[in-house]
Structure formats: C-alpha cells, structure tokens
Amino acid sequence: MYKRSRVRKVCWFDQNSIEPDYKDQRMMESFITERGKIVPRRLSGVCAKHQKQLALAVKRARYLALVPFVAENLK
C-alpha cells in the first residue's frame, strides 16, 4: 500500500521567536478564517502552547473590535 509521507509543520511563533499579541491586528487576521473562526492547529501547524495563547489573544482582539466575531456578510 502507498504510504504518504508527511512534512512536519513548524510553529510559526517558534520559528519567528515571537508571542501572540492581541494588539497586532494583522497577526490576528492571519489566524482566523473567512467566517471569523480561529484556525485549528492541525491546519496552521502552531504548537499547543502557542495555540492556547493565540486563542486568548484572538478573543481579546474580538472584544476590542480589531477582528470580527462573525464575518460581516454572514450576519
């Protein structure tokens, strides 16, 4: 049987040695989907530690209206 070879994803935060920041609008936008949902780590490749921090950061950014709770055209 054909065995698929997987390329191991590297955490973007570890790679760039930065931490998730709720004030960084561009960073937060890059980790949410078109619908405004947080991208799961199985897709983004973010490590468990940073995913936890990222989820909190996105929630803070949503409260401060930097990113939407729900996409405008889906309301």
Place of tokens 């973007």: 12
Nearer to other proteins, 48 or 65 (CB): 65
End-to-end CA distance of the chain: give it in Å, rounded: 46
Minimum gap (Å) between residue 70 Cβ and other proteins? 8
The verdict on 39 binding other proteins (CB under 8 A) reads no
Q: How many residues does the chain have?
A: 75
CA 44 to chain centre: 7
49 binds other proteins (CB under 8 A): no
Interface residues with other proteins (CB under 8 A)? 18-19, 21, 23-25, 60, 62-69, 72
